């Protein structure tokens, strides 16, 4: 530090400005990790690696690809629901209705009306989004528990219409198989399961992109303000109702798009997707992954659906049957095991899987810190 003279006056010494720390290699690569993960997931069907105990066959087998496709769809579905729950603070118990609108809408338009897939999917998406806007306009006149109950009531009406085969369109309790004769050849057959997997991956990528762009926009900041303090948004001269309706409609539209993809993967529609249990499962996925985070709901949705499918096979395995009755009985119930995993995860990681790295950071630092020698 040096003194300088200006017009006969002595200026005080200037403090040295510390140089900004250069980002480490990990910090420079971190923004590109989503693209790396997307590329790895895209080339996964070309792998013949077999992971015993994790999947029943190689990674490129049709059964494994179908399971992964379902997990990807529900990862996107959980991310879309988090836009409503984790980022806006609205607890909806009727989100399964819009997912079912995509599944049944696509199936009915292809099977019953004989429309091409692209027209059926587009009409189903338009109808499901419109339905979310109309029902949201009514439900958002209430708040809190009343809002949750109104959305649940709308979903129950949809479940009743499906179960009673309204207009002979839904197939009732037996469901409605998809007529594959009207589908593109690239989406039909066991050998083309890889194309359905890529379609599910594309859906997940679109949902994550949309949710991220909305959250980073001025609208997303208003939605975060609604979650934290709705009255403050009103004081600023903004209309909370309009912003909540935008979030509700967009979330419902993303769920409808996921339903169209799910219909192709499963090959039809079944009434269990209209139940309130699906919405509760979405809530568990978001809480398990971390509400309001970028990747938490995606990880929670993928992990939940993977465990839901694999635990069913695990419960019926010979290894579980060989255990004593007091142990084999609960382990043969997938919901019991899922509930136990959820309780443990919430207890040890209340912020969800997204906070796992943050919570393990101090432990990793303590383990890697060099010990002082006396």
CA distance 65 to 254: 22
CA distance 173 to 171: 7
Under a CB-based contact definition with an 8 Å cutoff, are residues 321 and 305 in contact? no
**Sign of the torsion angle spanned by Cα atoms 287, 289, 290, 296:** negative
CA distance 97 to 154: 8
From 148, 90, 83, select the one nearest 292 (Cα to Cα).
Answer: 83
pLDDT reported for residue 20? 54
Length of the chain: 374
pLDDT reported for residue 270? 92
Domain spans of the chain? 58-294
From 39, 326, 323, select the one nearest 198 (Cα to Cα).
Answer: 39
- SS3 of the chain: the string is CCCEEECCEEECCCCCCCCCCCCCHHHHHHHHHHHHHHHHHHHHHHCCCECCCCCCCECCCHHHHHHHHHHHHHHHHHHHHHHHCCCCCCCCCCCHHHHHHHHHHHHHHHHCCCCCHHHHHHHHHHHHHHHHHHHHHHHCCCCHHHHHHHHHHHHHHHHHHHHCCHHHCCCHHHCEECCHHHCCHHHCCHHHHHHHHHHHHHHHHHHHHHHHHHHHCHHHHHHHHHHHCHHHHHHCCCCHHHHHHHHHHHHHHHHHHHHHHHHHHHCEECHHHHCHHHHHHHHHHHHHHCCCCCCHHHHHHHHHHHHHHHHHHHHCCHHHHCCCHHHHHHHCCHHHHHHHHHHHHHHHCCCCHHHHHHHHHHHHHHHHCCCCCC
pLDDT reported for residue 24? 55
**Sign of the torsion angle spanned by Cα atoms 211, 292, 295, 289:** negative
CA distance 125 to 33: 31
CA distance 18 to 16: 6
Question: From its phi and psi, is residue 47 left (phi > 0), alpha (psi between -120 and 50) or beta?
Answer: beta
Q: Is 144 exposed, middle or buried (0-12, 13-18, 19+ CB in 10 A)?
A: exposed
pLDDT reported for residue 207? 96
pTM confidence score:
0.87
pLDDT in tens, the chain (374 residues): 455 554 555 555 555 555 555 655 556 767 778 888 889 999 999 988 888 878 888 999 999 999 999 999 999 999 999 999 999 999 999 999 999 999 999 999 999 999 999 999 999 999 999 999 999 999 999 998 999 999 999 999 999 999 999 888 999 989 999 998 889 999 998 889 999 999 999 999 999 999 999 999 999 999 999 999 888 898 888 999 999 999 999 999 999 999 999 999 999 999 999 988 898 899 999 999 999 888 899 999 999 999 988 887 777 777 777 777 777 777 777 778 888 888 888 788 778 888 776 766 555 565 556 555 55
Distance of CA 189 to the CA centre of its chain: 27
- HSE-up of 342 (CA within 13 Å, CB side)? 21
* pLDDT one-digit tens code per residue, 321-368: 777 777 777 777 777 888 888 888 878 877 888 877 676 655 556 555
């Amino acid at each position: 530090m040096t003194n300088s003279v200006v017009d006969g006056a002595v200026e005080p010494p200037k403090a040295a400005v510390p140089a900004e720390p250069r980002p480490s290699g990990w910090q420079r690569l971190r923004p590109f990790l989503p693209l790396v993960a997307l590329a790895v997931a895209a080339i996964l069907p070309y792998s013949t690696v077999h992971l015993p105990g994790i999947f029943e066959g190689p990674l490129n087998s049709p059964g494994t690809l179908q399971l992964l496709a379902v997990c990807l769809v529900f990862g996107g579905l959980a991310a879309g629901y988090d836009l409503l729950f984790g980022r806006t603070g609205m607890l909806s118990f009727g989100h399964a209705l819009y997912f079912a609108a995509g599944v049944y809408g696509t199936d009915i338009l292809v099977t019953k009306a004989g429309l091409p897939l692209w027209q059926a999917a587009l009409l189903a998406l338009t109808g499901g989004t419109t339905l979310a806007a109309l029902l949201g306009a009514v439900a958002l006149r209430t708040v809190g528990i009343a809002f949750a109950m109104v959305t649940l009531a709308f979903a129950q009406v949809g479940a009743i219409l499906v179960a009673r085969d309204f207009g002979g369109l839904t197939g009732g309790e037996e469901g409605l198989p998809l007529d594959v004769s009207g589908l593109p050849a690239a989406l039909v057959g066991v050998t083309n399961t890889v194309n359905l997997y890529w379609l599910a991956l594309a859906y997940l990528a679109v949902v994550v992109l949309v949710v991220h762009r909305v959250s980073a926009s001025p609208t997303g900041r208003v939605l975060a303000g609604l979650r934290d303090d709705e009255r403050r948004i009103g004081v600023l001269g903004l209309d909370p109702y309009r912003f909540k309706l935008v979030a509700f409609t967009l979330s419902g539209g993303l769920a409808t798009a996921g339903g169209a993809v799910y219909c192709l993967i499963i090959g039809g529609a079944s009434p269990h997707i209209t139940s309130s249990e699906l919405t509760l499962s979405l809530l568990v996925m978001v809480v398990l992954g971390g509400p309001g985070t970028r990747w938490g709901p995606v990880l929670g949705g993928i992990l939940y659906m993977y465990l839901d499918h694999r635990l069913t096979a695990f419960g019926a395995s010979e290894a579980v049957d060989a255990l004593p009755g007091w142990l084999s009985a609960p382990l043969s119930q997938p919901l019991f095991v899922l509930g136990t995993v959820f309780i443990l995860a919430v207890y040890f990681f209340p912020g969800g899987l997204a906070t796992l790295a943050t919570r393990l950071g101090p432990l990793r630092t303590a383990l890697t810190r060099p010990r002082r020698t006396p």
